[in-house]
Amino acid sequence: MRPFVSFLFAWVLVALWLLSDLHAAPSVEISRRVVGLFEPSRVDDLKQLVPTLPGVDLLRVDYDSTVAVWRLDPALVMTNYNAKKPPTEEQLAQRLDSLLGAASARSFALKPLSGIPAEKATLVQLRPPILDCRGCRFAVYNSIAKLEGVEIATVGKDGLISARIDPAKTDQQTLLAALKKVRGLEHPIK
């Protein structure tokens, strides 16, 4: 009788596992551009932040293209995960963006991969006055990096803003207008 009870108990456990949504979900890899990589040290900031996010691994990050490759465990990343109806890649990317933003006080965000080839992007360089602290550089960067049509943006310690833009979606005048809204930039931008 005892072997039968053990056998029955084992089958009940297997049935419960198969019927539940708690069994391991396959991990999913996604690639997205990272907004917030305005200087090389921000890559280290991102790498230090990621271990605080359950179910998220940063596999690679390229500062020059701002592209990061992530591995996500949907069961840990998504609230209300349902194995019978797994989330789409876009839903996972939106959730990762939300987690990154919350953990970094919105200093990191995600954007879709670039829609134009690098050789078709236009380089725009601007030099606002006195960007002598990291916070100032971030404020200036943030004012242009999230604009539609800005593919990649950086701000050097010398204050030079470099932005690769899609000329069909934005232009230098739009970037200048965004910079003029940044508090503290009262002097002309070159």
Residue-wise pLDDT tens digits, 20-42: 545 456 899 999 999 999 999 99
> 59, 60, 64: which is closest to 40 by C-alpha?
64
For the chain, what is the radius of gyration of the CA atoms?
22
Q: Domain 118-180 has what CATH class?
A: alpha beta
CATH of segment(s) 22-111? 3.30.70.100
Do residues 41 and 107 lie in contact, with contact meaning Cβ atoms separated by under 8 Å? Answer: no
What pLDDT, on a 0 to 100 scale, did the predictor assign at position 171?
A: 94
Of the pLDDT bands very low, low, confident and very high (cuts 50, 70, 90), residue 76 is very high
Contacts (Cβ under 8 Å, ≥6 apart) of 85: none
Rounded to an integer, what distance in angstroms lies between the CA atom of residue 109 and that of residue 37? 10
- CATH code 3.30.70.100 region(s) in the chain: 22-111, 118-180
Contacts (Cβ under 8 Å, ≥6 apart) of 173: none
Rounded to an integer, what distance in angstroms lies between the CA atom of residue 8 and that of residue 132? 71
Whole-model pTM: value is 0.78
What is the pLDDT averaged over residues 114-139?
84
DSSP string across 71-98: EE-HHHHSTT--TTSPPPHHHHHHHHHH
What pLDDT, on a 0 to 100 scale, did the predictor assign at position 163?
A: 94
What pLDDT, on a 0 to 100 scale, did the predictor assign at position 21?
A: 47
State yes or no: pLDDT of 156 exceeds 90: no
